[in-house]
């Protein structure tokens, strides 16, 4: 793949000025807004929901928004995120009782669908639904927090996911999430990822000058 996309995770942004943060990171060249939804149930942290997604749309953000749902149950959040303007809606298969149905609900709502794999979750969840996913998201940390270290075994899993995508013939993005930094992103790309979530690597590199706040880090990613 050579159609690489950078997806800043706004989990590490300054929530008190979120609209401006998202505007700045997109102006610096980011492609997709990665929107981490945590429910203090499926994962041990609590973040943001559809109202904040809608607020970003109302603020004027037109880039794709990639809603990463770390919630259970999944299904009743799908319509809310579709109405709030999400472009992608991805969920963890363990968090849904009916994975095929949840994928279908996402597409029926007019969004692009995806499955998310925790470090220990097997890719076999894809076996019967490759025709129903637009994105495969591999977690390279255990979900719940930003700022963790990349789990190296994820590189082999990326290669396996890349093989599955290429063999399927479908147009499916392969996204990686967790511990992506300037110094490991090239190796991650060589393993087959085409979409790179980065939270702390981007938002902790905020530049002090007012203009072009994220240009220098995005130029390196």
Could you tell which of Zn ion, ligand DX5, none binds residue 201, using a CB distance below 5 to 8 A set by kind?
A: ligand DX5
Q: Can 177 be counted among the known catalytic residues?
A: yes
Residue 107: phi and psi, rounded to 5, are: -70, -40
Burial readout 49-60 (b: 16 or more C-beta within 10 A, e: otherwise): bbeebbebeeee
177: contact with Zn ion by CB under 5 A: yes
Minimum gap (Å) between residue 199 Cβ and Zn ion: 8
Write the DSSP assignment of 9-74 as a string of letters. Answer: BGGGS-GGGHHHHHHHHHHTT--EEEEEEEBSSSSS-B---HHHHHHHHHHT--SEEEEEEE-SS-
Annotated binding residues for a divalent metal cation: 34, 36, 68, 177
CB 165 within 8 A of CB 174: yes
CA distance 41 to 113: 22
Choice from 39, 66, 177, 194 touching ligand DX5 (CB under 6 A): 177
Q: Coil, strand or helix: which one is 204?
A: coil
Binding mask 72-111 for ligand DX5 (x = CB under 6 A): ----------------------------------------
Reading the block at residue 141, the tokens are: 């940390």
The overall longest dimension of the chain from CA atoms, in Å, is 50
CA distance 203 to 149: 16
Annotated binding residues for substrate: 9, 68, 144-147, 177-179, 199-200
**Choice among 31, 36, 66, 134 that is catalytic:** 36
What is the DSSP secondary structure assignment for residue 149, as one 8-state letter?
Answer: P
Binding mask 14-43 for ligand DX5 (x = CB under 6 A): --------------------x-x-------
31: contact with Zn ion by CB under 5 A: no
188: contact with ligand DX5 by CB under 6 A: no
Minimum gap (Å) between residue 100 Cβ and ligand DX5: 23
Minimum gap (Å) between residue 175 Cβ and Zn ion: 9
- Residues lying near ligand DX5 in the complex (CB under 6 A) are found at 9, 11-12, 34, 36, 68, 141, 143-144, 146-148, 177-180, 197-201
- Residues lying near Zn ion in the complex (CB under 5 A) are found at 36, 68, 177
């Amino acid at each position: 793949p050579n159609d690489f996309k950078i997806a800043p995770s706004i989990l590490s942004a300054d929530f008190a000025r979120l609209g401006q943060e998202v505007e700045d990171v997109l102006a610096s060249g980011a492609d997709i807004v990665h929107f981490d939804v945590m429910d203090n149930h499926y994962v041990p942290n609590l973040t943001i929901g559809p109202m904040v997604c809608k607020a970003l749309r109302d603020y004027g953000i037109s880039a794709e928004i990639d809603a990463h749902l770390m919630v259970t149950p999944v299904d009743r959040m799908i319509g809310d995120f579709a109405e709030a303007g999400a472009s992608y809606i991805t969920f963890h298969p363990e968090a849904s009782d009916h994975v095929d149905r949840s994928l279908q609900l996402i597409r029926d709502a007019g969004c692009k669908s995806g499955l998310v794999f925790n470090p220990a979750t097997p890719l076999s969840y894809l076996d019967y639904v490759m025709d129903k996913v637009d994105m495969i998201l591999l977690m390279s940390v255990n979900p719940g927090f930003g700022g963790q270290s990349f789990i190296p075994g994820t590189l082999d899993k990326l290669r396996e996911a890349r093989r599955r995508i290429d063999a399927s013939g479908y147009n499916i993005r392969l996204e990686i999430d967790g511990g992506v930094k300037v110094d490991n992103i090239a190796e991650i790309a060589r393993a087959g990822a085409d979409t790179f979530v980065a939270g702390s690597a981007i938002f902790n590199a905020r530049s002090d000058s007012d203009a072009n706040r994220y240009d220098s880090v995005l130029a390196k990613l």
